[in-house]
Amino acid sequence: MLKLMKQNPWLLGANMSILSVIKYQIVESKSGHKIPKINNIHLHSTYDPRYEAERFILENEDLLKNNNKVLLLGLGFAYHAQYLVTFLKNL
């Protein structure tokens, strides 16, 4: 990241302020799955992140079937990416 900031000095202010406030932990959901917690914000469900990911994919099933491109943002521990790959393989 340091090389990126040196090559793009305009990034320096934004990235340094972000880096200076990040506090992260790995915590366990009620279902026993690990989830990242950044600045006291859980990036997945604190109950069952795998169920949350599967539900998200199923709720968007029509969109996924009708489009040939998917932009996936925010990975966390990628529970939703795992279900997305499985879903797309089965189309």
Per-residue model confidence as pLDDT tens for the chain (91 residues): 455 455 555 555 555 555 555 788 999 999 999 999 888 888 889 999 999 999 999 999 999 999 888 888 878 899 999 999 999 999 8
Residues 24, 37 contacting (CB under 8 angstroms): yes
Q: What is the C-alpha to C-alpha distance for residues 42 and 58, in angstroms, rounded to an integer?
A: 22
Element (H, E) at 43: none
Q: What is the C-alpha to C-alpha distance for residues 64 and 22, in angstroms, rounded to an integer?
A: 33
